[in-house]
Amino acid sequence: MDYFSHGFWSYIFFHRISKPWYAVLFGLLPDTLSWAVYFVYNLFNGTHFGVSSIPTWVFTLYGISHSLIFAGVVILLIYFLLRKVPVYIFAWPIAILMDIPTHSREFLPTPFLWPVSDWYFPGFSWGSRWFMIANWSLIILILIYLVLERKGLIPKVKQMLSKLSFSDKQ
């Protein structure tokens, strides 16, 4: 799934908690720890992004940050340290779960079982046109609904829709 979708889905899933923006940060964490770090590295080194020139350490970071096992260990450590786990942290494994089916084995498969296994789910590319249209359409529709809900306009919209007649009977 693309970077920005992770942020929006994290907000959608966690918008009712007191700190939804923390969930957005944790939803962006897997890609931030690998690709954003690489982007900043390129800025400071004057190098350009290219699939063939991606250093090995980026894929190592990608493996760590996209591992459900690693995320689980970190969440357990947080629990042992704090005796609770803030709910927004679960945006991280949810982002990984969303990546599993939306990454193909051919390009950036999600190493969700790293370091135990290098098996990858045979997903599809999140960059495919049909998925981008479906994904972003859902995000936009849900965000519109959340805005209408927050403004208390859902009952008015329902009332307006109930007045519309979609049948042949008059």
Q: Check residues 21 and 51 and name the one with the higher pLDDT.
A: 21
pLDDT score, position 74: 98
- CA–CA separation, 30 and 62 (whole Å): 7
Integer angstrom CA distances of residue 8 from 19, 45, 111, 116: 14, 31, 22, 30
- CA–CA separation, 8 and 4 (whole Å): 6
- CA–CA separation, 34 and 58 (whole Å): 6
Name all contacts of 46-50 with Cβ < 8 Å and 24+ positions apart.
none
pLDDT, tens only, 115-147: 999 999 999 999 999 999 999 999 999 999 999
Length of the chain: 170
Residue corresponding to tokens 């994290």: 10
Give the whole-number percent of the chain exceeding pLDDT 90.
74
Q: Is the pLDDT of residue 28 over 60?
A: yes
Give the whole-number percent of the chain exceeding pLDDT 70.
94
**Which segments within the chain are labelled E, that is strand?**
none
- CA–CA separation, 28 and 23 (whole Å): 9
pTM for the full predicted model: 0.88
